Every structure is written in structure tokens, then in C-alpha cells.
């Protein structure tokens, strides 16, 4: 029996954002309904980074993503994050595929942002703000523009060239965009924060009533992008309570007693499955606290694998003779 090997180039050509969004939405729902398994992430820590094992079982597949985070890698000419996914048959455990999961991580994170905004942002949202214009900003934009009619993008990054590049990209997609001050960017209908910050970068007085925030950047202990005051007055929806408590946007506020676990409104899956409400008024401020879940990775890997089978893409290897 053969195992399929798929490179990043293969993965990129085998899945579209709309397919990823459907898969991720379904994964959140199944998880909330108890129809998906996801043991906690395992961290293997080093002096200069870490490796994380992220297993999950859903939609007829099992899989594990093995992903690093080494912030000083760019100095060595290597990316900060590199990931591989092993996709197995839950029935036999056979490794069906080994694939690049670096692109998949960006794609599924963008997809989750799009799904969250679909349930939590005002339907008439037109102005979109981006604080942090690195890789994730592009994937968030790609997902959001499949849900909303984006009329204007406002962009801020501490590196001006990152904001300019993002503005140019929006222009290429026929979206009117400009680089602005951070205060100005925060005055929008949907705000995406995607920085690696460990200090709040967004102040409460900049956030108007009715804003939805996709808080993407905080995905490890000690990371934080939003002022505590925003968390105190917003309706907070997390991807997973355990992960968010330890490493999401809420982690610092919870560890310092600024907010309590009971203040968290719901998981995104509970909202998607209709077990909890999403946005209830035009006025409320909503936050999606994203940490990134293994169920998202496996749901996306399933589509990649099935599309690869259909199009006969990828290399096939007999790892062991049976």
C-alpha cells in the first residue's frame, strides 16, 4: 500500500479558500456537537523555539500536524513556522498521506476568521481594518472577501513596507485600500489583529460600538494584542476554551484576573451549531479569539487528500511492504 506525498506546491493547487472555509465551518460544528476528537496540543520546548504535536479525528480521517515555531529562524534564512501533516485512516491507522502543512496552517487560520466574522460581524460590514500586515493578513482578507462586500481596507503595520505591500495587493483585487494610523485603522466594521505582540496594541477608545474583531495574533502564553478594557466590554467567542485560556487573546487577562472563564460567551463551534447565539445587536462589540485547532488542519487535509486522489497529483511511496 502506498502513501501519498504532497509538497507545498501540490497543496496550494489542491484547495481553494471557499473549500477550506466550508471544511473549517463543519469542523467547528462537529467538535461542538461532540463528533470530533481533539486531545490537547503537546509542546516540546527548546531554548530558541518549540515543536507542537496537534492530533485530531473527524470526518472519517485522523491526522497529526507536527509544527515548529522558531522566531529567530529568519536570521538563518529559514521560515519561523514549518509544518507537516500525517493523515491516517482511523480504521486501520494506515498513513494515507504526508503533506506540507505550512500553507494549510495559514489557509485554515484565514478560513476560521472568515467563518467567525460570518456569524459575529454585522452583515452590512463594509470597512475592514488590519493591524499587522504579514502573511496572515492576506489569508484573512481572502476569507473575509468571500463573506462580505468589502468597500474599504485600512492597513497599519509597524513596518511601513508591510502595510504598503498589503495595500498594493488589495488594489490588485479591486479593493480600495490605504495605509493609515493605527487609531484610524481601528475605526472600522471588522478589525483583524495579526501581530506577534506581547503588549496590547489596540486601545479601547479606538473601538466603536458594533465592531467585530478577529484576534488572530495571540496563539501562545503571554501574547496579547487588545487592551483589557476591550475584553471587558465585548462578547468573546473562542475557538477552544482550553487553548484560549492558555495561549489565546484572553490568556493574559484570565491569568491576571481581569476577566473570568465565565465571561467567555461561547466557542465558535457552539455558535455555528446554533447551541449559543452569535451577534445579537448592531451595537455589541464581538471578538473571535483564534488559537488554531487541529480539527481545522485535519478538515482541510481531508479536502487536499481527496482532491489529490481525483486529480492524481502527488508522489506515491511504499514506506513499508505489506
Catalytic residues: 65
Which of 296, 247, 261, 246 is CA-nearest to residue 115? 296
The residues, any chain, with a CB within 8 Å of residue 171's CB and separated by 6 or more, are 177
Candidate residues 216, 237, 272, 300; the one interacting with ligand NAD per rule CB under 6 A: 216
Residue 136 counted as an annotated binding residue: yes
Q: How far is the CB of 160 from ligand NAD (least distance, A)?
A: 9
Which of 261, 224, 232, 258 is CA-nearest to residue 245? 261
Residues 84, 65: Cα–Cα separation, whole Å: 6
Binding mask 167-186 for ligand NAD (x = CB under 6 A): --------------------
**Site membership for ligand NAD, residue 132 (CB under 6 A):** yes
Tell me, rounded to whole angstroms, the distance of Cα 218 from its chain centroid: 10
CA-CA-CA-CA torsion sign (233, 238, 241, 243): negative
Residue 207 counted as an annotated binding residue: no
- Of 47-106, binders to ligand NAD (CB under 6 A) are 105
Residues 79, 49: Cα–Cα separation, whole Å: 12
SS3 (DSSP) at 196:
coil
Residues 295, 55: Cα–Cα separation, whole Å: 8
Candidate residues 157, 249, 270, 297; the one interacting with ligand NAD per rule CB under 6 A: 157
Residue 217 counted as an annotated binding residue: yes
Q: How far is the CB of 2 from ligand NAD (least distance, A)?
A: 31
Residue 123 counted as an annotated binding residue: no
**Site membership for ligand NAD, residue 158 (CB under 6 A):** yes
Nearer to ligand NAD, 87 or 162 (CB): 162
Nearer to ligand NAD, 193 or 307 (CB): 193
Nearer to ligand NAD, 211 or 214 (CB): 214
Candidate residues 134, 184, 246, 284; the one interacting with ligand NAD per rule CB under 6 A: 134
CA distances from 119 to 21, 25, 107, 148, 244 (A): 13, 11, 19, 12, 19
Angle between the 17-32 and 135-144 helix axes, to the nearest 10 degrees? 80
Stretch that binds ligand NAD, among 88-96, 173-181, 194-202, 271-279 (CB under 6 A): 194-202
Candidate residues 196, 227, 228, 284; the one interacting with ligand NAD per rule CB under 6 A: 196
Q: What are phi and psi of 302, to 5 degrees?
A: -60, -45
Q: How far is the CB of 189 from ligand NAD (least distance, A)?
A: 20
Residues 285, 262: Cα–Cα separation, whole Å: 18
Residues 100, 214: Cα–Cα separation, whole Å: 26
Residue 189 counted as an annotated binding residue: no
Residue 62 counted as an annotated binding residue: no
**Site membership for ligand NAD, residue 200 (CB under 6 A):** no
Determine the residue with CB nearest ligand NAD.
134
The residues, any chain, with a CB within 8 Å of residue 123's CB and separated by 6 or more, are none
Q: Which residues bind ligand NAD (CB under 6 A)?
A: 105, 109, 131-136, 156-159, 162, 194-197, 201, 216-217, 219, 290-292
Binding residues for NAD(+): 108, 135-136, 157-159, 217-219, 223, 290
Amino acid at each position: 500500500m502506498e502513501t501519498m506525498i504532497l509538497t507545498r506546491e501540490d497543496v496550494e493547487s489542491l484547495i481553494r479558500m471557499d473549500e477550506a472555509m466550508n471544511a473549517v465551518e463543519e469542523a467547528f460544528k462537529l467538535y461542538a456537537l461532540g463528533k470530533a476528537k481533539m486531545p490537547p496540543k503537546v509542546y516540546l520546548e527548546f531554548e530558541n523555539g518549540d515543536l507542537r504535536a496537534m492530533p485530531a479525528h473527524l470526518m472519517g480521517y485522523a491526522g497529526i500536524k507536527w509544527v515548529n515555531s522558531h522566531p529567530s529562524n529568519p536570521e538563518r534564512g529559514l521560515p519561523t513556522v514549518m509544518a507537516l501533516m500525517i493523515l491516517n485512516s482511523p480504521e486501520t491507522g494506515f498513513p494515507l498521506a504526508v503533506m506540507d502543512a505550512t500553507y494549510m496552517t495559514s489557509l485554515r487560520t484565514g478560513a476560521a476568521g472568515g467563518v467567525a466574522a460570518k456569524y459575529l460581524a454585522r452583515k452590512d460590514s463594509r470597512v475592514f481594518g488590519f493591524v499587522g500586515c504579514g502573511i496572515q493578513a492576506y489569508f484573512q482578507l481572502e476569507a473575509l472577501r468571500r463573506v462580505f462586500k468589502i468597500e474599504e481596507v485600512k492597513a497599519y503595520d509597524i513596518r511601513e513596507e508591510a502595510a504598503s505591500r498589503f495595500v498594493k495587493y488589495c488594489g490588485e483585487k479591486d479593493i480600495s485600500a490605504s495605509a493609515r494610523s493605527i487609531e484610524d485603522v481601528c475605526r472600522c466594521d471588522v478589525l483583524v489583529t495579526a501581530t506577534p505582540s506581547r503588549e496590547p496594541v489596540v486601545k479601547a477608545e479606538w473601538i466603536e460600538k458594533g465592531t467585530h474583531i478577529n484576534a488572530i495574533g495571540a496563539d501562545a502564553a503571554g501574547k496579547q494584542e487588545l487592551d483589557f478594557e476591550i475584553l471587558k466590554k465585548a462578547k468573546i467567542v473562542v475557538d477552544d476554551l482550553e487553548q484560549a485560556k492558555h495561549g489565546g487573546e484572553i490568556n493574559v487577562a484570565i491569568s491576571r484576573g481581569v476577566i473570568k472563564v465565565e465571561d467567555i460567551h461561547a466557542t465558535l463551534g457552539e455558535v455555528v451549531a446554533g447551541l449559543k447565539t452569535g451577534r445579537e445587536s448592531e451595537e455589541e462589540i464581538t471578538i473571535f479569539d483564534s488559537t488554531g485547532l487541529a480539527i481545522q488542519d485535519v478538515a482541510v487535509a481531508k479536502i487536499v487528500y481527496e482532491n489529490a486522489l481525483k486529480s492524481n497529483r502527488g508522489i506515491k511511496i511504499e514506506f513499508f511492504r505489506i
